A and B are shown apart, each in its own frame.
Chain A
Amino acid sequence: GDSVTQMEGPVTLSEEACLTINCTYTATGYPSLFWYVQYPGEGLQLLLKATKADDKGSNKGFEATYRKETTSFHLEKGSVQVSDSAVYFCAVLIAGGTSYGKLTFGQGTILTVHP
C-alpha cells in the first residue's frame, strides 16, 4: 500500500540554522505531495504542496521539491526561527487506484528551535 517515511525526530536547532526534514514515499498512481504543520495546541495547516514531478512548493521560507526519480519531498528552510517550532507532517494524496483520494501521512517530525 501507499506509505510515507519521514526522518525520525525530534529535531533541535538553534535559531538561524538550516533545516532539512527528509520525506520519501511509496505510491501507485500519480500522487500529489504535501507538507502540513501543527503548531503547539493547534490543528493541521497546509504548509506547501506540489502536484507533479519537479514542482517546487514554497511558503513562509520553507521549500520542497517533488522528486519523482527518488520518490522524495524533503522539506528545507535556510534559516529557522523560534516560531517554526512545531510538528511537521509529510503526506501524499493518490488520485487513482485503491487509495483513491486518501491522504496518507508520515509519522511526523517534532522541530524545536532555541533562541
Chain B
Amino acid sequence: EAQVTQNPRYLITVTGKKLTVTCSQNMNHEYMSWYRQDPGLGLRQIYYSMNVEVTDKGDVPEGYKVSRKEKRNFPLILESPSPNQTSLYFCATRGQGAFGYGYTFGSGTRLTVV
C-alpha cells in the first residue's frame, strides 16, 4: 500500500529544544514536501525537495531545516523551536510529472511548543 509515514503524530516540547519530525514514503517518488496548517491560513509550504540532495525553500521556511540524503526520507528539523511554530505539519509526495494526481499526504504531526 502506498504510504507516507510521519512520526510522531503528537509532540509537545519546550522552546529551544531541537526536534526532528520524520517522514518516509514507499512510492519511490522523487518529489517530497512539508506543509504547515494553521486555522484560517490553509496549508503553506515550508520546504520541498525535487530529488536526493536537492532541497529548496517554500513560502514559510524560517526556523526550519530539511535534509534529503535518500529518496524515501525527508525529515523536518526545528533547531530552536518557538511557540509560533505550534502547528499541524504534513509531509507530502507526488510522482515526477504526475501533476494531475495531486499529492499524497501523511497523517500529520501536531506540534505544540510551550
Which A-chain residue is minimally distant from B50 (CB atoms)?
Answer: A101
B71 at the A/B interface (Cβ < 8 Å)?
no
Which one, A45, A93, A107, contacts B99 given CB within 8 A? A93
Which parts of B76-102 form the interface with A (CB within 8 Å)? Answer: 90, 92, 94, 99-102
Point out the residues of chain B lying under 8 angstroms from A34, CB to CB.
Answer: 102
Query: What is the size, in residues, of chain A's interface with B at 8 Å between Cβ atoms?
Result: 25
Which parts of A62-100 form the interface with B (CB within 8 Å)? Answer: 89, 91, 93-95
Once bound together, how far apart are the Cα atoms of A94 and B99, in whole Å?
A: 8
Q: Quote the shortest CB–CB distance from A49 to chain B (angstroms).
A: 6
Measured CB to CB, the residues of A under 8 A from B are 4, 6, 32, 34, 36, 42-46, 49, 51, 89, 91, 93-95, 101-108
Q: Which 4 A-B pairs have the closest CB atoms?
A: A105-B42, A51-B100, A107-B42, A105-B43
Measured CB to CB, the residues of B under 8 A from A are 31, 33, 35, 37, 40-45, 48, 50, 58, 90, 92, 94, 99-103, 105-108
